[in-house]
A and B are shown apart, each in its own frame.
Chain A
Amino acid sequence: MRASVGAALAALFFTGLFPGEARAHLVTTGLGPFYDGISHFALTLEDLLPVLALALLAGLSGPRSGRMVLFALPVAWISGGLLGLSRSSELLMPVLTASTLLVLGALVALDRKLPLGLVAGLAAALGLFHGYLNGTAKLGALGLSGVAVTLCVVVALAAAFVVSLRAPWSRIAVRVAGSWLVAISMLMLGWTFRAG
């Protein structure tokens, strides 16, 4: 079971690493807006990485936190998306996305057991912000539904995987992953403010 969860996470990871043709905006899959939402999320590392970080954090904080994120994140994401549907703004997106990843990655690396309310607050904030950006990208209500379903799958797999870890070294491996996310976010900030 654990191996299959790991394989699913690995497949998701590499799907994100090797996207297809480079396009500047939303591209339809030809399968409908619901699947457009799924592919949008799976191929947008700016969305995927913070969600993975949050799922790892929830897993480190225990099963109750995992269940809370499983509920709070998709609801907040859809709410934010609906708010953003009638707006068009990508102001500070790279900075905010990198900052989100920085905070979540640092919390994973520190491996502090967070109160349930704080985890829920982080999930709500992440969902509202990224959902809003999805909304401004004109993903549509059905597309947002596709994202929400994918969120549930990703959070459930990643958080359950971390919760199931028993060996001390495996928990350290999750913390190392958190430190990598911090490093990635700092480089993203550097790219945003790149000189010249």
Chain B
Amino acid sequence: MQRLPALFLAAAHIQPGEASGFLTGFLHPISGLDHVLAMIAVGLWGAQLGPPAVWILPITFPMVMALGGTLGLMGVALPGVEVGIAISALVLGILVLAEARPPLAIAAVVVGFFAIFHGHAHGTELPAGESGLLYSVGFVVATGCLHAVGIALGLLNRWSSGRTALRAAGAVVALSGVAFLVRALA
């Protein structure tokens, strides 16, 4: 167990594993390149679309992903999870590459649909013995940070060269999605 400052010694209703729960939860979403690229792509796409999509998409993704995670934790089966995650990187990358501008509702549905797969994968992979609450906090904060990275990179969209760079980033994500898909289907 981590030793922490004496100030925090008084603990109440804290379950075993709590000290490491936040860190484990925080590291989980950023431990897989497929998750990282897809979540950053959501931020990039939101930035390309501008307000209100720039914040609605990153709000949609964690909430629906948590729903998927809940399904995974409860043991509800979801077929083709790894394929779905790979396709999410492929599709989101293509959307960024193409600077696609569908209606906001469609964009939110696309992002939410793929978030289910990411959440489910995380839900079924969660380790036992951790504090559920702190793990969840770390998990959600890390996801939000990845979106924030994407949005921050998306600020390049203001300049024409930046716009090209974002589209190139979309191409990289899409190509990675192809690689993930090949691996998932192998």
Contacts and interface: CB of A to CB of B under 8 A. Distances in A.
Interface string B96-138: 0000000000000000000000000001001000001111110
Contact of B12 (A27, A188, A189, A196): A27
A49 B75 CA distance: 27
Given A45-B137, A190-B74, A20 B9 contact: yes
A188 B133 contact: yes
B19 A39 contact: no
B14 interface: yes
Contact of A19 (B18, B55, B71): B18
Interface stretch (B61-69, B82-90, B159-167): B61-69
Given A18-B4, A18-B19, A183 B140 contact: yes
A191 B21 CA distance: 13
Contact of A193 (B7, B11, B73): B73
Interface stretch (A117-125, A154-162, A171-179): A171-179
B184 interface: no
B139 interface: yes
A94 B137 CA distance: 15
Contacts of A40: 10, 12-13
Interface in A1-54: 15, 17-29, 35-36, 39-40, 43-46, 49
Contacts, number: 154
By secondary structure, the B interface counts as helix
Interface residues of A, number: 45
Contacts of A22: 1, 11, 14-19
By secondary structure, the A interface counts as helix
Given A17-B22, A172-B55, A187-B140, A182 B66 contact: yes
B50 interface: no
Contacts of B18: 19, 22
Contacts of A191: 73, 126, 132-133, 135-136
Given A22-B17, A190-B69, A193-B74, A137 B12 contact: yes
Contacts of B132: 94, 187-188, 191-192, 194
A110 B166 CA distance: 30
Chain B's interface size range is 35 or more
Contacts of B63: 109, 179, 182-183, 186
A190 B137 contact: no
Contacts of A180: 62, 140-141, 144
A186 B11 contact: no
B69 A21 contact: no
**Residue from A49, A187, A191 with most neighbouring chain B CB atoms (10 Å):** A187
Contacts of B182: none
**Residue from B11, B67, B75, B144 with most neighbouring chain A CB atoms (10 Å):** B11
Nearest to A178: B59
A39 to B, nearest CB: 4
A120 B10 CA distance: 31
The 7 closest A-B pairs by CB, nearest first: A195-B75, A191-B132, A190-B70, A190-B73, A20-B8, A183-B66, A187-B136
Interface of A: 15, 17-29, 35-36, 39-40, 43-46, 49, 94, 109, 137, 172, 175-176, 179-180, 182-184, 186-196
Interface of B: 1, 4-19, 22, 55, 58-59, 62-63, 65-67, 69-75, 123, 126, 132-137, 139-141, 143-144
Given A183-B63, A184-B133, 6 more contacts: A17-B137, A21-B4, A29-B9, A43-B8, A179-B59, A184-B137
